[in-house]
Amino acid sequence: MKDEIKSPADLLEQALLDLENRKKAAADKSAEMAPELERLAALQAKLEALPQKERREVLDAMGLKHVSAAPPPITPVRGTGRAPFRQPSPANWNKWKFIPKCELWKGVCLSLDIEPDEEKHGMRSWLQSRLGVPYGFPADFAERLQIAQANVSTNGPIQPQNLYVGALNNPHAEVLLSEVSAAAICWGWTLPECMKALARSGEPVTTPKPSATKFPPMVPATDAKPWLLIEPSDPAPEHEWYAPARYFARQLVSKDSTLLTKKLMLADKVSLSLSSVGIYRRGGKKQRLDASTVLKAFSNMTWG
């Protein structure tokens, strides 16, 4: 026998009855669980009162490692609260008064009584960016370095001690501390007394007069370094090593005139001669000049 079709009122009445039954069942279940929930709440409060390490041990013992509290506390680093680079240290004159040569930028540091070998002042990073001044340095440091670089020349007042392509106007050029000191005195810089003592006594320091040509002349040739002499009939040298290259080229051709028809071979021999007197490629890594580069020095030069 088929179920009798219920009216909407019957359906509503049944739905309300089902709701009451579900609510009563939930209330009975809650009443049944109340003691357990109260016990769990008390234990949770006791757990929260434990130190973090002990609380984590309890949770791990329950197999709840994935929900353990925060990881073990990290011991804080004891710092000074200062910037990444620290204030520069005073120059160690007990050392520098016995060191005749150094990189140009170090000489400028010493002119301000700053120890250049203290790496934590960030100088090497600054030399790449040249933004502002290094941390803790005087405001005029960048200006002093710029002036010093502009005065590194084979004609002085600060002469590079290791001549290679790019040695001029280079903060890493090796120079004499005595020349940096003497030039700084000439420029009116305020210097520490220990640096003033490094200036060579009895030698007047003067700013070199501008050359009549576009390029500064090399130092006068001596018996020890005849390759520094510029041949008047040659074109003005575009680089410091042009005059030495032309000198050695003439010497080689005077011994073997066939090299005039073998310019690349001649250039390679000249490169070898340049390296023998301390003239290398740019960068100061003591790598010989490429023969193709040396060839440029031969353009329009006289061979007589």
Has residue 224 got a pLDDT over 80?
Answer: no
Q: Where are the domains of the chain?
A: 93-196, 226-298
Length of the chain: 304
Give the per-residue pLDDT at 208: 43
Number of neighbouring beta carbons within 10 Å of residue 150: 11
Least confident residue range of 72-81, 113-122, 136-145, 235-244: 72-81
Q: Which of 12-26, 62-76, 160-174 tops mean pLDDT?
A: 12-26
**Residue 66 pLDDT > 60:** no
**Residue 248 pLDDT exceeds 70:** yes
Least confident of 126-135, 210-219, 245-254, 277-286: 210-219
Mean pLDDT of 266-295: 83
Q: Tokens representing 287?
A: 């790598």
Of 23-32, 116-125, 257-266, 269-278, the poorest mean pLDDT is in 116-125
Question: Rounded CA gap, 229 and 237, in Å?
Answer: 11
Residues 107, 160: Cα–Cα separation, whole Å = 13
Local confidence band at 4 (pLDDT 50, 70, 90 cut-offs): low
Q: What are phi and psi of 174, to 5 degrees?
A: -80, 125
Instruction: Quote the mean pLDDT of the chain.
Output: 75
What pLDDT does 203 receive? 42
Alpha carbon distance 263, 293 (integer Å): 12
Q: What is the pLDDT of residue 72?
A: 60
Q: 210 to each of 111, 226, 297, how far by Cα in Å? A: 26, 23, 23
